[in-house]
Structure 1
Amino acid sequence: MMKNVKLLSEVSIASLLTIGGIAAVNNVNSPVNPVASQTVQAATTEQTTIKLPAGYTRQRILAVNNNRISARDKQALVQASMNGMKQNTFYDNKASDKQEMVNTTNLTWAQKLEINRYALSLINSARAQMGKQPWVLNKSAMAFADRVATEYHNNNKSVWDPNHYVAGITRAAVASGLKNAGQVYEDEAGLPITSQFRGTYRTMYALKEQVYFNVKQMLFGGFYGTAAQYGLAGRYTEWEHAGDLLGLRSLKGYNAPTKMFGLSFSDMKNNHQRVSVHFMGVASRYVANRRVFNVNANIR
């Protein structure tokens, strides 16, 4: 599927987001989300949630994904998405995260598990508010995500390309015991490139902050830009990501009740600054070989 890539003037400092034909690029030369100063309820980052604002409704997400939304409802959805970007602020009270350096393309199992759980907690917090079943973290889905990352790296592909790397996703899917179903698995984003972290290394705190920003982008109109641009309506252009993460794409009931989830990161052979983020969701109907893809290998 072709992607409509929106490039800003400085692509070297960017965060890219793409799914099924949509992309957005964000220039980031300052922290993507300043840390909230107020006290919050969360005891750990794993309990962090993203709150869907008033006006951000199931009906509007379904309507916009099926080109059946009225101008009035579209305006209301854009406003709600603006509020979602403004009102949801990253918070991490795990002190060790600011000291722990991680290599996004070579995470330890403990680090991989932590960032996967973190990303999934954000997605599931939004799904719960829409009355949806949670996605589940699954070892086979995580292995699939790692295979996708390897395909991207080995073939020097990234989210900055105009298309998903479908050939690589397909090879990874088949090797993982999944159907050759083209690009039905991946939501793709890009980690912001900041003056502090220009390669694959960053603190766990920074990694969580950037993944938090990526998930916010996906939910709230594919926003592209910096915090200073949250109020610009023209920065909110698509809700396909939201429809996928929330199970609100189909008016005909084709949305999977839940998916098995895995997250991975890849850089490029010739550019270690461009780190792609692969959000992989697997519906059970796409599992071809259950001896290879273990649908029961869920991680709680």
Structure 2
Amino acid sequence: MKKRRLRLILVAAMMALAPIGMTTFARPETAQAASHKTRKAKLVLPKGYTKQALLKAYKGKPSKSFIKASMKGMQVNSFSRNSLPESLKDNKKLVKPNKLTAAQREELADYSLRLINQVRDQLDLPAWKASEGTMNLAQDIADEYTKHKFGIQNGNHYVAGIVRACKKNGLNLDDNYVEDMAGFSESKSKLSMTTLKKNIYFGLKQMIFGYVGSGEKYRTNPKLYREWEHAGDLFNTQGSKHDGDFNYFGFSISKVRNVYSLHFISVPDFVVKSDTYNKDFKA
């Protein structure tokens, strides 16, 4: 089973940070929009972004054509670069990201999972599944980060806390096999659901397309496309016998000072079915 490494993608004010190497805080490019307009967030893979090409990139040998496809992906998927909300209600709904209600956390988990599965479908992969058990695990992991004042700004996963949360939820795992992480910097304690969804969108987009730059501004620089380990996690494409499987998904947010960490938690189906790894976990 592959460990998850961190490729920190910090999103500033409205955007960007993803897990392995640290990026700086940056604001996304936004366009002014009429207050009555909305746009559904979606992620589309450019031609040339295939499982075969991703696997080579995951192993550290991306082709020039795959880097070019990834750059196009960062360009054409523009929900994070405009101010259009998914719904007008999202603009008006102010929440505390690190103190979400169960309904708010479920809404953001469903949103994240929808985006992940959009791309999985384009790669002919089975959909990941929402899971109450993984949502509980995700919140326990966020609580560990909060309690120990750890976050994406530390440049690593909080492995000790992840292991404790896994044990608490019945998973016999001794390292980080469940978390991919993004995050953003924001001084406000309350944010709109639109702002949160755009941060989540950008974090996922960076992970999928291997972009390690600070915000959208530098997306045309090919040297900033160099890390697809998160994409390998999201799309179960790691060169193992479990390639093509699916995971159970959960989501949570933690906060340390002015940095919010986005915890994308997934438990592989083979782990759930394993007597070795699953001692009392209920997906």
Q: TM-score by structure 1 length?
A: 0.81
> Quick one: which of 250, 266, 274 aligns to 1:281?
266
1:82-104 per-residue CA deviation (whole Å, 9 max, x = no partner) reads: 11111002153411100100111
RMSD: 2.9
Query: SS in structure 1 opposite 2:68?
Result: helix
In structure 2, the residue matched to 1:28 is 26
Shift of 1:35: 7.4
Matched, 1:258 2:246: yes
Residue 98 and residue 185 in structure 1: after superposition, are their counterparts in 2 closer, same or farther (change >3 A)? same
Contact (CA 8 Å) 1:3, 1:23: kept in 2 or not?
Answer: no
Query: SS in structure 2 opposite 1:266?
Result: strand
Shift of 1:179: 1.7
The letter for the 1-side match of 2:17 is: L
1:15-38 per-residue CA deviation (whole Å, 9 max, x = no partner) reads: 4321xxx23424323x4554788x
1:135-165 per-residue CA deviation (whole Å, 9 max, x = no partner) reads: 0110110010000000011011111113211
List 4+ stretches of structure 1 deviating above 6 A.
1-8, 11-14
Matched, 1:202 2:187: no
What's the % identity of the aligned pairs?
31
Give structure 2 stretches of 5+ with no counterpart.
none
Residue 189 and residue 61 in structure 1: after superposition, are their counterparts in 2 closer, same or farther (change >3 A)? same
In structure 1, the residue matched to 2:213 is 224
Report the more deviating stretch, 254-263 or 150-159.
254-263
Query: SS in structure 1 opposite 2:18?
Result: strand
1:102-138 per-residue CA deviation (whole Å, 9 max, x = no partner) reads: 1111111211111000000110001111100010110
Shift of 1:286: 2.5
Separation (CA, whole Å) in 1 of partners of 2:9 and 2:134: 31
Q: TM-score by structure 2 length?
A: 0.86
Give structure 1 stretches of 5+ with no counterpart.
296-300
Matched, 1:122 2:123: no
1:3-52 per-residue CA deviation (whole Å, 9 max, x = no partner) reads: 787899xx99984321xxx23424323x4554788xx997xx4xx32000
Contact (CA 8 Å) 2:98, 2:253: kept in 1 or not?
Answer: yes
Separation (CA, whole Å) in 2 of partners of 1:182 and 1:113: 26
Residue 35 and residue 84 in structure 1: after superposition, are their counterparts in 2 closer, same or farther (change >3 A)? farther
Separation (CA, whole Å) in 2 of partners of 1:210 and 1:4: 18
Residue 5 and residue 216 in structure 1: after superposition, are their counterparts in 2 closer, same or farther (change >3 A)? closer
Contact (CA 8 Å) 2:112, 2:200: kept in 1 or not?
Answer: yes
Matched, 1:244 2:233: yes
The letter for the 2-side match of 1:276 is: S
In structure 2, the residue matched to 1:58 is 51
For this pair of structures, how many residues does the alignment match? 271
Matches within 5 A, 1:7-26: 15-18=16-19, 22-26=20-24
